[in-house]
Amino acid sequence: MFRNIGEVALLGWQTLVALPYVWRQRRKVADQLFEIGNASLFMACLLSLFIGGVVALQSGPRLAERGIGGMLGGLIGLSVAEELAPVMMSILIAGRIGSAMAAEIGSMRVYQEIDALRTMNINPVHYLVLPRVVGITVGLPSLVIFSMIVGWGGGALVAVLNRDIGLTWAEYFNDLRLNVEAFDVAKGFIKSIAFAVVVGLVSCQQGLATIGGPRGIGRSVTKAVVNSIVLILILDYFLTRLLLVFQR
């Protein structure tokens, strides 16, 4: 575990040092942005819509029973913006994009393509890791902002159509507007950037550490996804604590 953490930290430093070369890899960055953004957009919308709807379905009737059903918009707005959108989208991208990154780089490692890059004096970090980390760091926060909007819409849809809640569109969005501030959205955005860096570095590190043929590629993919999800949840707690200090 500690060796993996050290390798991820070292890879993160090497990627940071390589940032001045990102313009040379702009086409690869654009390819990663397409995979993260356009190719994942429908799945992200579907997930966000039902996340907002489930929160409204669970919380709305209970709030209405206590005469505070009008607070549902703020509840869904804050929960989606601060926690559900960044965490769930990061887990989605870890499973969809992080696994692909680990498999691609792992295959190159097993079939000695990375050794061939070094032989041609091409730095694997510049060529393979940098565009993937930059692409996911730009693409995931954009996806999270879109997810917030769709999640709020899903909650509004359930709040209006469910008779046990009985809110109007105006009541729902008025409460959301009063309770959700710009800093609340910014917290989810900041978290998504940190989660994106973690997913990108962990997935690339597992790919570079792959050994043992096809079975080793499978192990690397599994470890990349599991480690990314665990680190996302751990990091979410510490980031929440840190951002609460700034909010005060």
Contact 180, 74 (CB under 8 A): yes
- State the average pLDDT over residues 85-104: 92
pLDDT band of 248, cuts 50, 70, 90: low
- Give the pLDDT confidence of 188-215 residue by residue, as tens digits: 999 999 999 999 999 999 998 888 888 8
Q: Please classify residue 53 by burial: count the beta carbons closer than 10 Å to its beta carbon, then call 0-12 exposed, 13-18 middle and 19+ buried.
A: buried
> Mean pLDDT, the chain, as a whole number?
89
Rounded Cα–Cα distance for residues 90 and 191 (Å):
9
Of all residues in the chain, the percent with pLDDT exceeding 90 is 48
Among residues 240, 23, 46, the alpha carbon closest in space to that of 143 is found at 46
Would you say residue 38 has pLDDT above 80?
no
- State the average pLDDT over residues 53-65: 89
Contact 77, 174 (CB under 8 A): no
- State the average pLDDT over residues 229-233: 94
- Give the pLDDT confidence of 140-162 residue by residue, as tens digits: 999 999 999 999 999 999 988 88
Tokens of 36: 């993260």
pLDDT band of 66, cuts 50, 70, 90: confident
- State the average pLDDT over residues 163-177: 87
What does the pLDDT read at residue 23?
87
The domain locations on the chain are 26-239
pLDDT band of 25, cuts 50, 70, 90: confident
pLDDT band of 117, cuts 50, 70, 90: confident
Distances (CA, A) of 75 to 63, 68, 210: 10, 11, 44
- State the average pLDDT over residues 61-78: 86
Helices 85-93 and 182-208: crossing angle, nearest 10°? 20
pLDDT band of 76, cuts 50, 70, 90: very high
Would you say residue 237 has pLDDT above 90?
yes
Q: Please classify residue 154 by burial: count the beta carbons closer than 10 Å to its beta carbon, then call 0-12 exposed, 13-18 middle and 19+ buried.
A: buried
What does the pLDDT read at residue 151?
93
- pTM (predicted TM-score): 0.91
Contact 161, 60 (CB under 8 A): no
pLDDT band of 13, cuts 50, 70, 90: very high
Among residues 105, 61, 101, the alpha carbon closest in space to that of 210 is found at 105
